[in-house]
């Protein structure tokens, strides 16, 4: 398949459709300030929206979309909008399985193609990784491996993180897994990005026990 020449607007920048970005926010209000224009643009263009959210915030999220002029109820009926709880994505069966999640991402993006949507705009809230669940320590490896998958698709994936909840060291690792980053409400190419062929061996070395 030939790459799309279409452009989308995200956090003050026009970018190609195929994008893996991390976005750091301090508050929900800042999240919606930056992300709602991108989400609304997608609905206007007829794109598919897949949002993975904290289950405690799902209803508020739908209410916010509706207040922004998006018919959230009808869009769910037509499959243009899908709002999944963490337990329906990252934490299926009560734990995080990075291989299963990589397969799910591909399934979701392939489904958008089958349904003939121009593209899929996937926005994922990542605070599930702070829960005491098996597998959550694989977050960084998963985010890095996602860079093997997403270049095959003309879809935009944005992983959002609450800066108040993640440690500085975790934020730096997460930064290294995303070619694009939104920080200070502005999108930019990420100078800290490390391709998976570079980062994955480093992560494996960290896990190996040190010789005495």
Of the candidates 175, 169, 183, the one whose C-alpha atom is nearest the C-alpha of residue 199 is: 175
Question: How does pLDDT run across 129-165, given as a tens digit for each residue?
Answer: 999 999 999 999 999 999 999 999 999 999 999 999 9
**Mean pLDDT, to the nearest integer, of 165-188?**
96
When mean pLDDT is compared across 16-25, 86-95, 203-212, the lowest value belongs to 203-212
- Does residue 36 form part of some domain? yes
Residues whose CB falls within 8 Å of the CB of residue 135, separated by 6 or more in sequence, listed in order = 95, 96, 97, 98
- Does residue 125 form part of some domain? yes
Position 4 pLDDT exceeds 90: no
- Does residue 6 form part of some domain? no
Percent of the chain beyond pLDDT 90? Answer: 93
Alpha-carbon distance of 153 to 48, in angstroms, equals 14
- Does residue 10 form part of some domain? no
Show the domain range for 185: 16-207
Position 62 pLDDT exceeds 90: yes
- Does residue 3 form part of some domain? no
Position 1 pLDDT exceeds 80: no
**Mean pLDDT, to the nearest integer, of 9-26?**
95
Alpha-carbon distance of 189 to 107, in angstroms, equals 27
Alpha-carbon distance of 114 to 103, in angstroms, equals 16
**Mean pLDDT, to the nearest integer, of 63-83?**
97
Position 50 pLDDT exceeds 60: yes
- Does residue 7 form part of some domain? no
Q: How many domains does the chain have?
A: 1
**Mean pLDDT, to the nearest integer, of 3-12?**
86
- Does residue 40 form part of some domain? yes
Alpha-carbon distance of 32 to 39, in angstroms, equals 9
**Mean pLDDT, to the nearest integer, of 192-207?**
95
Alpha-carbon distance of 90 to 4, in angstroms, equals 28
* pLDDT score of 210: 63
Question: How does pLDDT run across 85-128, given as a tens digit for each residue?
Answer: 999 999 999 999 999 999 999 999 999 999 999 999 999 999 99
Percent of the chain beyond pLDDT 70? Answer: 97
Residues whose CB falls within 8 Å of the CB of residue 52, separated by 6 or more in sequence, listed in order = 84, 85, 86, 88, 89, 90, 122, 123, 124, 125
Of the candidates 92, 91, 72, the one whose C-alpha atom is nearest the C-alpha of residue 82 is: 72
* pLDDT score of 2: 58
Give pTM, 2 decimals: 0.95
* pLDDT score of 208: 79
Name the pLDDT band for 207 (thresholds 50, 70, 90): confident
Name the pLDDT band for 211 (thresholds 50, 70, 90): low
Which CATH number do you get for residue 132? 3.40.50.300
* pLDDT score of 212: 52
């Amino acid at each position: 398949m030939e790459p799309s020449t279409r452009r989308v607007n995200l956090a003050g920048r026009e970018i190609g459709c195929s994008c893996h970005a991390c976005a750091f926010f301090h508050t929900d209000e800042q999240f919606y300030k930056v992300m709602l224009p991108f989400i609304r643009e997608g609905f206007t263009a007829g794109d598919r929206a897949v949002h993975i959210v904290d289950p405690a915030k799902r209803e508020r999220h739908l209410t916010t979309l509706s207040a922004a002029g998006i018919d959230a109820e009808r869009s769910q009926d037509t499959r243009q909008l899908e709002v999944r709880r963490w337990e329906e994505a990252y934490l299926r069966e009560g734990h995080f399985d990075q291989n299963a999640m990589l397969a799910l991402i591909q399934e979701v993006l392939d489904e958008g193609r089958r349904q003939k949507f121009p593209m899929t705009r996937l926005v994922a809230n990542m605070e599930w990784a702070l829960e005491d669940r098996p597998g959550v320590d694989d977050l960084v490896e998963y985010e890095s491996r996602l860079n093997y998958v997403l270049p095959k698709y003309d879809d935009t994936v944005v992983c959002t993180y609450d800066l108040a909840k993640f440690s500085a060291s975790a934020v730096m690792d997460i930064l290294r897994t995303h070619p694009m980053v939104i920080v200070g409400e502005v999108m930019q190419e990420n100078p800290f990005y490390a391709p998976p062929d570079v980062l994955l061996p480093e992560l494996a070395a960290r896990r190996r026990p040190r010789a005495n």
